[in-house]
Amino acid sequence: MKVDDIKKILVVGAGTMGHGIAEVFAIAGYHVYLSDVSEDILNKSLNNIRWSLSKLKEKDRIKETVDEVLSRIRPVVGLNESVSDADFVVEASPEIIDLKRQIFSTLDKLLSPNTILATNTSTLPVTSIAEATSKPERVVAMHFFNPPVLMELVEVMKGEKTNDEVALTTYELAKKIGKKPILIKKDVPGYVVNNILGAVSGTACLLVEKGLADIKEVDAVTMYKLGFPMGVFILADYSGLDIGYNALRSREKLGLKTNRPPCSMVEEKVKRGELGVKSGKGYYQYPAPGKYQKP
Ligand code: 3HC
């Protein structure tokens, strides 16, 4: 599959990352199927996309109207025949390895053997996701950053069996939608960014847990000294505390090592449903859940 042959995109999972990824492709002119398990989730997701597009329109960052872009996104409940003509898939489901494998096994049967199957996993090995398919050479990682519409970097990463052409087409597709991709030639769970970020945020969490600094102090340090655009705790709220938590559990299950120091504060918050911006509370409070405003 060459990049110019790609016309229809399927995004599986309409959560924080999935809805943003669908939005990016629709802005770039692609027809997008956005799939999730319920109409309710899809409605919330379309609502978030509308909010984001309106923000972009206000700032003159998109040429078309909000409705023109939205008209290219078709919500689909579940994975069925109606999406079988997709040329490229980005899977953005929760960081649960068994769930991802199940989705890839379904996609493998549903879509043409030429369709490229990409995962947006944060930290799981693309090789073990690809094993759930009959054609692991067409499986690749395409890792966006939150929010996909504003963040330019995309990490494209090969699994052990990923075909070179599949990786190259994915890389070119990222460029075509206006991103700045990097190509990682070996399967490194966590890619480049999340390995660095995980070590930083794990250390930050420990400093707070041990009472050596408070959340606002650590955020101030990461922003004003380390030069991060957001403090690490605001960023965790923004990305969703459950993402890192689920990824860690899945990595443990796969027997993978992590350079992230253990920190129980995250687990406690996830168990209380304090997931960050999406739930209205994480390390900080957000009056309009799902819609980021500086705390
Ligand atoms: N769409 C449109 N607008 C959005 C938006 C979205 N999805 N999310 C936030 N905004 C808007 C806000 O509502 C606000 O609008 P306003 O100006 O009208 O109030 C504005 O963007 C925020 O503006 P800020 O002044 O706070 O910040 P900037 O515009 O300078 O930048 C940012 C925003 C690009 C999000 C910047 O804060 C940033 O780079 N943050 C770090 C993000 C990051 O590191 N992401 C990666 C996380 S790790 C990850 O995703 C990996 C994965 O595996 C989990």
Q: Give the mean pLDDT of the chain.
A: 94
3-state secondary structure of 11: strand
Neighbours of 267 (CB within 10 A): 14
Measured from the CA of 243, which atom of ligand 1 is nearest?
A: 54
% residues pLDDT > 70 (the chain): 100
Could you list the active site residues?
A: 122, 143, 155, 194
Residues contacting ligand 1 via CB (< 6 Å): 20, 52, 55-56, 122, 145-147, 149-151, 194, 197, 229-230, 235, 239, 243, 292-294
Measured from the CA of 151, which atom of ligand 1 is nearest?
A: 34
Distance 146 CA to ligand 1 centre (A): 7
pLDDT band per the 50, 70, 90 thresholds, residue 153: very high
CA 138/CA 91 separation, integer angstroms: 13
Place of tokens 């309710």: 40
Per residue in 241-256, pLDDT tens? Answer: 998 888 888 888 888 8
Q: pLDDT at position 257, please?
A: 77
Residue of 16, 292, 293 to test ligand 1 pocket, by largest number of atoms within 8 Å of CB: 292
Q: Does the structure show a pLDDT above 90 at 264?
A: no
Residue nearest to atom 33 of ligand 1 (CA): 150
Neighbours of 125 (CB within 10 A): 23
Distance 174 CA to ligand 1 centre (A): 19
DSSP string, 222-263: HHHTS--SS-HHHHHHHH-HHHHHHHHHHHHHTT----SPP-
User: Which helix (H) or strand (E) is 55 found in, with range?
Assistant: helix 39-58
Lowest mean pLDDT among 95-109, 142-156, 255-269: 255-269
CA 98/CA 237 separation, integer angstroms: 25
155 contact partners, CB below 8 Å, separation of at least 6: 141, 142, 143, 181, 182, 184, 191, 192, 193
Distance 5 CA to ligand 1 centre (A): 32
Q: Which letter does DSSP use for residue 87 in this model?
A: S
CB 57 within 8 A of CB 70: no
ipTM of the complex: 0.94
Q: pLDDT at position 251, please?
A: 80
Residues of the chain with CATH 1.10.1040.10: 193-279
Q: What is the mean pLDDT of residues 30-58?
A: 97
DSSP string, 92-143: ---S-HHHHHHHHHHHHHHS-TTSEEEE--SSS-HHHHHTTSS-GGGEEEEE
CA 281/CA 272 separation, integer angstroms: 10
Lowest mean pLDDT among 116-125, 147-156, 245-254: 245-254
Strands 73-77 and 139-143, how do they pair? Answer: unpaired
pLDDT band per the 50, 70, 90 thresholds, residue 289: confident
If one compares 294 and 91, the residue with the highest pLDDT of the two is 91
Residues of the chain with CATH 3.40.50.720: 3-184
CATH topology of domain 193-279: N-(1-d-carboxylethyl)-l-norvaline Dehydrogenase; domain 2 (1.10.1040)
Q: Does the structure show a pLDDT above 90 at 106?
A: yes
pTM of the shown model: 0.93
Distance 136 CA to ligand 1 centre (A): 34
% residues pLDDT > 90 (the chain): 84
CA 282/CA 66 separation, integer angstroms: 30
Q: CATH top-level class for 3-184?
A: alpha beta
Per residue in 46-59, pLDDT tens? Answer: 999 999 999 999 99
Per residue in 12-30, pLDDT tens? Answer: 999 989 999 999 999 999 9
Q: What is the mean pLDDT of residues 89-111?
A: 96
